[in-house]
RNA sequence: GGCGUCAUGGCCGAGUGGCUAGGCUGGGCUCUGCAAAAGCUCCCACAGCGGUUCGAAUCCGCUUGACGCCUCCA
């Protein structure tokens, strides 16, 4: 098996990946809070982990990929209404209708982007019992306290033995110094303490009974409980967006330590943000673009519609740990590159072999693996794929050669990287329709060739130009005319 | 204010102490009836200032700037 290096945000270093159990990987990724449509920035994170999931599968690992759905609303501050409830009130729906609506939307969008489904997709509300049990354990272990129907995690006490801030590289002393005292209306002993269980006010709709009264679980707890349940007290990879590092993931570590007396995760991975106009995409500021707006082109930031594959390719051209800025120019450039890549890939089935090879397929193949083994460096992989594109075009013209064996290995490799690992899809034209379309276009090509033979350039150009308007491009090559559909 | 990340050519975006990223765009050439496509080729770089080094865009320090987190956030 290839040696894979993963950048661990716990150590801030690339580390050789060694799963706990040989050949098996347990991976947990924080999913969305389903109170509104996912925007493109949300999609980027899930796509980054889709790439990681796909590559692990490609390497032959058996991966259990758990990604939760947060369907219990959490509070933006101690006294506000949670987002799901707010949305339910605005849309005049039950909270669970909101949850259902946006869960379906989330699945549909990710499917359009050709993301593979996780192995398990647990919900927070489906694991209230387990969350209550975890709180009991933390209370028993003396690292939480109950006040007025709520239970809080005692961060200062935890910090006596463990380091609260190990992931986000913070010192709790700094946090305390920089905390402004807000009126003291909170039940917390310390502002850094976080809720494990919150007492439900009468108007709070999502509510469950507990040993501490009617309430609802704290935000961080669900991930601890569900990852433990499905992946064990210790598992290989935990992922999420960079913005979840603190406090969410920090709290997860503290909760797991408090429950299970062990660090839960060997490799922490954080995907970086998608920005637009240099600022983080965020619905609250209006600086965001929805996937459906990409598909229809109906957004002031873009000049035309783009397919999900193009958007996917655009995002894969940047490394998952880099900030990526979305712009019309950038995605237009990606679209051209994407088309060039996919046209070359579609040519691979038509290539012919020779007696010798003018290209070192094995060396090229290893470079592709090296790129992905270096912390899933998809931009480098894509650069190597473009090297292959050039080679394919020369091969087609007979200017390069491959033996039968090399050709097979070459086409197998390029197809598996493009489709299986990067998860790109070729243009969606139904097989049947494509056959019919081909017939029609071939007929027009014949007519045009007759016109060209007669030097009737007006007619031949008319056929070519009008087809182009319809999105069908003719290409005159040495072996006759071919066409592509845009 | 605290913590952290990043500053690469016209645009997007990789990267390593000495050697080509790649894509898009622009110029030239080949091919073509003309185009397009494809191929070849050219131009344009590593924020600024110091330091380490035989040698740094790559390591260290400072300056400037941008962004992220510190409240829900992918």
Per-residue model confidence as pLDDT tens digits over A272-323: 999 998 889 987 777 899 999 999 999 999 999 999 999 999 999 999 999 9
Instruction: Give residue limits of the domains in chain A.
Output: 5-271, 275-421, 431-485
Residue at token pair 């950038």? A330
Banded model confidence at residue A183, pLDDT cuts 50, 70, 90: very low
pLDDT, averaged across chain A: 90
Rounded distance, CA A80 to CA A102, Å? 22
Question: For chain A, what percent of residues have pLDDT higher than 90?
Answer: 69
Structure ipTM: 0.94
Give strand letter and number of the nucleotide nearest A319 (CA to C1'). Answer: B14
Q: pLDDT by residue (tens digit) across A435-455?
A: 778 888 888 888 888 888 889
Banded model confidence at residue A79, pLDDT cuts 50, 70, 90: low
Q: What confidence score (pLDDT) does residue A432 get?
A: 59
Residue A170: phi, psi to the nearest 5? -115, 155
pLDDT at A6 over 90: yes
CA of A467, C1' of B33: distance in angstroms = 19
Beta strands in A168-286 (DSSP E): 194-199, 215-217, 235-241, 265-271, 274-276, 279-280
Q: Which has the minimum average pLDDT: A87-91, A387-391, A428-432? A: A428-432
Overall average pLDDT of the A139-165 stretch? 94
Nucleotides of chain B in contact with protein CB (under 7 A) are 1-5, 10-15, 21-25, 31-40, 66-74
Overall average pLDDT of the A339-353 stretch? 91
Task: State whether residue A148 is helix, strand or coil.
Answer: coil
Say which CATH architecture domain A5-271 belongs to: 3-Layer(aba) Sandwich (3.40)
CA of A86, C1' of B20: distance in angstroms = 55
Give strand letter and number of the nucleotide nearest A276 (CA to C1'). Answer: B67
pLDDT at A433 over 70: no
Banded model confidence at residue A75, pLDDT cuts 50, 70, 90: low
CA of A408, C1' of B59: distance in angstroms = 44
Overall average pLDDT of the A47-54 stretch? 97
B23 C1': nearest CA residue: A337
Fold adopted by A275-421: Isoleucyl-tRNA Synthetase; Domain 1 (1.10.730)
Overall average pLDDT of the A29-34 stretch? 94
Question: For chain A, what percent of residues have pLDDT higher than 70?
Answer: 95
CA of A9, C1' of B18: distance in angstroms = 31
CA of A279, C1' of B48: distance in angstroms = 25
pLDDT at A105 over 90: yes
B72 C1': nearest CA residue: A76
Task: State whether residue A62 is helix, strand or coil.
Answer: strand
Query: Residues 6 or more apart from A43 whose CB is under 8 A from it?
Result: A109, A110, A113, A291, A311, A315
Banded model confidence at residue A104, pLDDT cuts 50, 70, 90: very high
DSSP string, A410-450: HHHHHHIIIIIIS--------HHHHHHHHHHHHHHHHHHHH
CA of A477, C1' of B34: distance in angstroms = 14
Q: What confidence score (pLDDT) does residue A476 get?
A: 85
The burial of A376, by beta-carbon neighbours within 10 Å (0-12 exposed, 13-18 middle, 19 or more buried), is given as buried
């Amino acid at each position: 098996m290839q040696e894979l290096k993963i950048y661990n945000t716990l150590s801030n270093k690339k580390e050789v990946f060694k799963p706990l159990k040989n050949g098996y990987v347990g991976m947990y990724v924080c999913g969305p809070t389903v109170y509104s449509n996912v925007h493109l920035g949300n999609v980027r994170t899930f796509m980054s982990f889709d790439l990681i999931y796909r590559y692990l599968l490609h390497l032959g690992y058996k991966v259990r990929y758990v990604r939760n759905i947060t369907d219990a609303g959490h509070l933006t501050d101690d006294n506000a209404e949670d987002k799901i409830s707010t949305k339910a009130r605005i849309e005049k729906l039950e909270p669970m209708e909101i949850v259902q609506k946006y869960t379906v939307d989330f699945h549909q969008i990710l499917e359009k982007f050709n993301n593979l489904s996780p192995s398990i997709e647990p919900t927070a509300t489906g694991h209230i019992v387990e969350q209550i049990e975890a709180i009991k354990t933390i209370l028993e272990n003396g690292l939480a306290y109950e006040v007025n129907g709520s239970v809080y995690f005692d961060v200062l006490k935890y910090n006596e033995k463990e380091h609260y801030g190990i992931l986000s590289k913070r010192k709790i002393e700094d946090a305390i110094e920089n905390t402004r005292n807000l009126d003291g209306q909170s039940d917390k002993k310390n502002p850094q303490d976080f809720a494990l269980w919150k007492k439900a006010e009468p108007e709070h709709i999502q509510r469950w009974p507990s040993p501490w009264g009617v309430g609802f679980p704290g935000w961080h707890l669900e991930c601890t409980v569900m990852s433990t349940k499905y992946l064990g007290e210790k598992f290989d990879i935990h992922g999420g967006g960079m913005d979840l590092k603190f406090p969410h993931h920090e709290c997860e570590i503290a909760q797991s330590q408090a429950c299970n007396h062990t660090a839960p995760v060997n490799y922490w991975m954080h995907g970086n943000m998608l920005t637009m106009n240099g600022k983080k995409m965020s619905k609250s500021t209006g600086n965001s673009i929805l996937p459906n707006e990409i598909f229809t082109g109906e957004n002031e930031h873009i000049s035309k519609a783009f397919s999900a594959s193009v958007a996917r390719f655009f995002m894969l051209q940047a490394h998952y740990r880099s900030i990526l800025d979305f712009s019309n120019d950038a995605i237009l450039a990606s679209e051209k590159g994407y088309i060039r890549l996919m046209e070359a890939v579609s040519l691979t089935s038509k290539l012919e072999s020779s007696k010798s090879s003018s290209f070192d397929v094995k060396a090229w193949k290893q470079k592709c693996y090296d790129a992905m083994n270096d912390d899933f460096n998809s931009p480098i992989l894509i650069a190597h794929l473009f090297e292959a594109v050039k080679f394919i075009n020369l091969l087609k013209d007979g200017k390069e050669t491959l033996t039968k064996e090399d050709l097979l290995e070459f086409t197998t490799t390029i197809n598996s990287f493009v489709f299986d690992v990067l998860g790109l899809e070729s243009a969606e034209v139904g097989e049947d329709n494509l056959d019919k379309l081909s017939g029609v276009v071939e007929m027009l090509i014949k007519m045009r060739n007759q016109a060209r033979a007669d030097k009737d350039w007006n007619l031949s150009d008319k056929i070519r130009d009008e087809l182009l308007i319809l999105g069908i491009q003719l290409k005159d090559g040495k072996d006759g005319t071919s066409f592509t559909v845009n």
